[in-house]
């Protein structure tokens, strides 16, 4: 079994995050159970993987034989080539404990957005004077069969053949990433007093809409009350999908996976505005017990960036100091 530990932010104590399944009688286990973690680029997320040989049903780890452990950061895994980190297992003095391979992948969770545009033809006339002022309301269906509103178009004034502006919506908002979930669209005639008249409705799904402009995406607008009353009722007009464009949002991890390297170059200010280096108030003061402000900044940034830099070399420069031997002021020198 492999047990994953993460570190608490404040006191740095290790807490168990989860365990894989137990695989019997093997020295080369390939664990199925995955750990789903939040990734924060700007934080150093320390991980510890402990391995045990399990011989009883007891959940108590001290009852099982310790086989070694591996320490790394989440950034180290993500920053490795192909997000695949191979590291030696350590922890038992004088013994080779084998190696562990950890791979990471970003959960898709549907980061796509869609840009779509609709028009309508021959909608019912609802206003006594003039034509209708139509707008569309989109609802996504929930697990329990209820509907949640997710988009409203603008109102197009005084027409039975409106063309609405294209709008962008995330696939999550539209159908929670489930391509076959019902999407209900209602057509209304806008009224100033807010008592908008219902013209009719139709249903579709992301999968149907994604076929784009075609005969499949011309929808009859149906008013169930009228349909019940009038035998000859056909529809209250049609709504047509004019265009459907998928836009994939690129994440930070996509850049890292694509081989983006992050390099770290630092320049430190030695000008007199930093104060006298021998005084504790100066940013350059060398306190024997803790890092000064510059040291802390270097550590905070460097510890994160190092995981994404292949050569682990960080150029460091200074400016605004008098350099030996002749005491000339330099505004760019190597540290």
Residue 199 has pLDDT above 70, yes or no: yes
pLDDT tens sequence across 39-51: 988 889 999 999 9
Within 13 Å, how many C-alpha atoms sit on residue 204's CB side? 23
Residue 178 has pLDDT above 90, yes or no: no
Q: Where are the alpha helices (DSSP H) in the chain?
A: 74-79, 171-175, 206-209, 224-229, 252-257, 293-305
Q: Long-range contacts of range 95-100, CB-CB < 8 Å, 24 or more positions apart?
A: 95/68, 97/51, 97/67, 97/68, 98/27, 98/67, 98/68, 100/2, 100/49, 100/51, 100/70
In this predicted structure, what is the pLDDT of residue 107?
75
Task: Delimit the domains of the chain by residue range.
Answer: 2-103, 112-248, 261-334
Q: Which CATH superfamily is domain 112-248 in?
A: C2 domain (2.60.40.150)
How high does pLDDT run on average in the chain?
93
What's the pTM?
Answer: 0.58
Confidence of residue 108 (pLDDT cuts 50, 70, 90): low
Share of the chain above pLDDT 70, in %: 99
**What letter does residue 307 receive in the DSSP assignment?**
G
Q: Is 173 left (phi over 0), alpha (psi -120 to 50) or beta?
A: alpha
Q: What is the C-alpha end-to-end distance of the chain, expressed in Å?
A: 47
State the Cα–Cα distance between residues 115 and 170, nearest whole angstrom.
9
In this predicted structure, what is the pLDDT of residue 216?
87
**Strand 2-7 versus strand 46-53 pairing type:** antiparallel
């Amino acid at each position: 079994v492999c047990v994953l530990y993460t570190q608490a932010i404040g006191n740095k104590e290790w807490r168990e995050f989860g365990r894989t399944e137990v695989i019997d009688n093997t020295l080369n286990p390939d664990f199925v159970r995955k750990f789903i973690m939040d990734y924060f680029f700007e934080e150093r997320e320390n991980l510890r993987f402990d391995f045990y040989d399990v011989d009883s049903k007891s959940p108590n780890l001290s009852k099982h034989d310790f086989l070694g452990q591996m320490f790394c950061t989440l950034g180290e895994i993500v920053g490795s080539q192909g997000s695949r980190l191979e590291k030696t297992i350590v922890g038992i003095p004088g013994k080779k404990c084998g190696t562990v391979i950890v791979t990471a992948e970003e959960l898709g969770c549907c980061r796509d957005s869609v840009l779509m545009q609709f028009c309508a033809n021959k909608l019912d006339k609802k206003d006594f004077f003039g034509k209708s002022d139509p707008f569309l309301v989109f609802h996504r269906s929930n697990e329990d069969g209820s509907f949640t509103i997710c988009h409203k178009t603008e109102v197009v004034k005084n027409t039975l053949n409106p063309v609405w502006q294209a709008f962008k919506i995330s696939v999550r908002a539209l159908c929670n990433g489930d391509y076959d979930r019902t999407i209900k669209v209602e057509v209304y005639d806008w009224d100033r007093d807010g008592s908008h008249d219902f013209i009719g409705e139709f249903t579709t799904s992301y999968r149907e809409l994604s076929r784009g402009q075609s005969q499949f995406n011309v929808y009859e607008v149906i008013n169930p009350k009228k349909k019940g009353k009038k035998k000859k009722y056909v529809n209250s007009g049609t709504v047509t999908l004019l265009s459907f464009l998928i836009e994939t949002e690129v994440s930070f991890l996509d850049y890292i996976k694509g081989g983006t390297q992050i390099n770290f170059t630092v320049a430190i200010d030695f000008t007199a505005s930093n104060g006298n280096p021998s005084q504790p108030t100066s940013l350059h003061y060398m306190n024997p017990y803790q890092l000064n402000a510059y040291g802390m900044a270097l550590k905070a940034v460097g510890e994160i960036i190092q995981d994404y830099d292949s050569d682990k070399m960080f150029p460091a420069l200074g400016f605004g100091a008098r350099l030996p031997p002749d005491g000339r002021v330099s505004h760019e020198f190597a540290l």
